[in-house]
Amino acid sequence: MSRPLANIPDGVAVMVDANILVYALTPQAQFHRDCRALLERGARGLVSFSTSVSVTADVLHRTMVLEVLAEGLVARSADAVALLKRQPTLIPRLTRYRTVLRDLRQARIDMLPLTYRDLHASRQSREQFGLLVNDSLIVAVMQRERITTLATNDPDFTRVPGLDVRTPQS
């Protein structure tokens, strides 16, 4: 079961999933307001945020794809990736993804590394809870850092006992 992002108490350590960051950084996203408000709480120091390097890389990738879609160059995400692979000269023209790291710093989001031990430990979450690799890595990093609250819009995490899963509501 998940609970609203807005009800995360002050002072709590929160792991942030890629979808929350993408929503917060994309004004046209359905959950933008709720996710942006959460990041603003981090910027004010009311909540302590962490994410992993792999989640950040995913956010950068998704931001590139969304910019290609917003420019109307293609109609689907898969087509955006194919276009960028066929025409790599388009990549230097993209600008939005370049500001993502600055935006995460402003929200005071700590970027945690992945270790070999995390890769090994993540296997348990895949086998016990049926998580995909990237999701199981999030759980492994949370366990390593002793973080129990996760901001995500992925219901798969509700299968993991002991996680306080928080989701956007508006």
Task: List pLDDT tens digits, range 17-26.
Answer: 999 999 999 9
What mean pLDDT, rounded, does the chain reach?
Answer: 96
Please tell me the predicted confidence (pLDDT) of residue 1: 79
d(CA 111, CA 21): 13
Strand partners, 151: 16, 166
CB 35 within 8 A of CB 4: no
d(CA 18, CA 119): 18
pTM for the model: 0.94
Domains observed in the chain: 2-167 (3.40.50.1010)
Output the six-digit token pair for 98.
Answer: 């370049």
Please tell me the predicted confidence (pLDDT) of residue 85: 96
Helical axes 18-25 vs 53-70, angle rounded to 10°: 40
Strand partners, 13: 48
Task: List pLDDT tens digits, range 116-170.
Answer: 999 999 999 999 999 999 999 999 999 999 999 999 999 999 999 999 999 999 6
Task: List pLDDT tens digits, range 38-78.
Answer: 999 999 999 999 999 999 999 999 999 999 999 999 999 99
What single-letter amino acid sits at 76? R
